[in-house]
Every structure is written in structure tokens, then in C-alpha cells.
């Protein structure tokens, strides 16, 4: 049987793993076994973190829209229902920005849906 030397490939694989662990503490940045384990945890937490970030942003948008709506005497849920009924195609992100930065435009939107 022919001898296969895999030193170069194995080294590349190890270096690739260690490249991702830059900035980790202790042996997790320099030892392959610890680095692999650290990356498994880090990447799973990163995935969850991205979902939480989106969730928090949506909560903030809802709070801003609700605060803007309450100043004009309407609740958040009633406003969203009326926007849907009138077919106003503004998403929550845009509505929140308008409510926060341009209250006069937000007031016109509210008058249109009432």
C-alpha cells in the first residue's frame, strides 16, 4: 500500500480552527482540542444572540410606536389594527423612526387612519 502523508492538510485544518479563536483566553486560543470546543459554544451563542437582537429591536419599535400613539389618545393595538384596515404599508421599524424623529408626520399618519 502506498504511504500517504497528510501533514500539510492536517496543519491547514488546525490553523483554520485556531484562526477563529483569536482573542479567546488561555488554551482556548492556542490548543486545537480546547479551541474546537470553544468554537462550538461560541457559534451557538452567536446564533441565539442574533435572534435576541432582532427580538429586542422589535420590542423597542413597538414601545416607540405605542408612546407616540398614546400622546394622540390611541393605543398601540388599535393603531396597528386601523393601519391594517386602511392598507397602510408602513412596517414597525419605519413607524418607530417616524414617531421618534418626526412627530408631526406621525400625527398626519394617525389622522389619515382615524
pLDDT digit string (tens) for 20-35?
999 999 999 999 999 9
Residues 6+ apart with CB under 8 A from 110: 69, 72, 74, 79
pLDDT digit string (tens) for 47-69?
999 999 999 999 999 999 999 99
* Cα–Cα distance, 73 to 88 (Å, whole number): 19
Please check whether residue 88 is in contact with residue 113, taking contact to mean a CB–CB distance below 8 angstroms. Answer: yes
Angle at 103 between CA 69 and CA 91, to 5 degrees: 65
Ordered by start, the domain boundaries in the chain are: 8-113
pTM of the model: 0.75
* Element housing 73 (H / E): none
Per-residue pLDDT at 114 exceeds 90: no
Quick one: fold of 8-113? Answer: c-terminal domain of poly(a) binding protein (1.10.1900)
| pLDDT level of residue 99 (50, 70, 90 thresholds) | very high
Amino acid at each position: 500500500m502506498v504511504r500517504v502523508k497528510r501533514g500539510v492538510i492536517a496543519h491547514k485544518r488546525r490553523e483554520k480552527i485556531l484562526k477563529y479563536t483569536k482573542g479567546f483566553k488561555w488554551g482556548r486560543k492556542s490548543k486545537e482540542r480546547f479551541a474546537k470546543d470553544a468554537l462550538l459554544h461560541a457559534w451557538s451563542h452567536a446564533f441565539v444572540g442574533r435572534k435576541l437582537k432582532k427580538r429586542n429591536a422589535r420590542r423597542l419599535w413597538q414601545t416607540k410606536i405605542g408612546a407616540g400613539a398614546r400622546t394622540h389618545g390611541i393605543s398601540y393595538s388599535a393603531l396597528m389594527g386601523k393601519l391594517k384596515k386602511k392598507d397602510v404599508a408602513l412596517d414597525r421599524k419605519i413607524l418607530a423612526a417616524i414617531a421618534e424623529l418626526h412627530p408631526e408626520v406621525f400625527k398626519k399618519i394617525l389622522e389619515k387612519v382615524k
